[in-house]
Structure 1
Amino acid sequence: MAPRTAAALHILVKHKEQAEDIIKQLNNGGKFHMLAKKHSTCPSGKNGGDLGEFRQGQMVPQFDKACFTGEILVPQLVKTKFGWHVVKVLYRT
């Protein structure tokens, strides 16, 4: 059986309040790629937060769990050792 894969966008910030504010902006029609470019501390921010496709188990556990069990296309909050992520899963196989 082929390994499961997912594709996701994310915005990495230091503080939960900022991440929650970004989710509010997204829910009010904000554009994910614009917010990622503006706020994300991850190098992927300059690509609109695009992480591309990755295999299950490739990311840190909390992030991996969110990507493989969370809702698709719904921004969610994930805390990891890197900070607070706003994650939007595009699809998974």
Structure 2
Amino acid sequence: MASTAHALHILVKHKEQAEDILKQLKKGAKFQTLAKKHSTCPSGKKGGDLGEFRRGTMVPQFDKVCFSCEVLTPQLVKTKFGWHIIKVLYRT
């Protein structure tokens, strides 16, 4: 079972905006470009890069997606911070 993950994310306030960003990604838009443009998280300036983190470091909903979703496939999840589009780059 993986104990660390490296992920990118885009944080927005509204589900509609998150769904729109997800559609743009599916059409080939660059994740980092959209993160810089739309993310309200400070990591947005770095293209949404959260770096590598341990299981249990992030809020439960975010953590669950990072350690169970398909790698490199953007996922949508809601937390107390808002709506996240998460792209896991790898797990170790």
Unaligned runs of 5+ in 1: none
For residues 37-71 of structure 1, the C-alpha deviation after alignment (integer angstroms, 9 at most, x for no partner) is 00000000000000000000000000000000011
Residue type at the aligned position of 1:76? Q
RMSD: 0.8
CA distance in 2 between counterparts of 1:16 and 1:71 reads 21
Percent of aligned pairs with the same residue? 79
CA distance in 2 between counterparts of 1:50 and 1:35 reads 12
Q: Secondary structure at the match of 1:51?
A: strand
Aligned residues: 91
Alignment partner of 1:26 is 2:34: no
TM value normalised by structure 1: 0.96
Instruction: List structure 1 segments (4+ residues) > 4 angstroms apart after TM superposition.
Output: none
State the partner residue of 2:55. 56
CA distance in 2 between counterparts of 1:71 and 1:14 reads 24
State the partner residue of 1:66. 65
State the partner residue of 2:89. 90
State the partner residue of 1:40. 39
TM value normalised by structure 2: 0.97
Unaligned runs of 5+ in 2: none
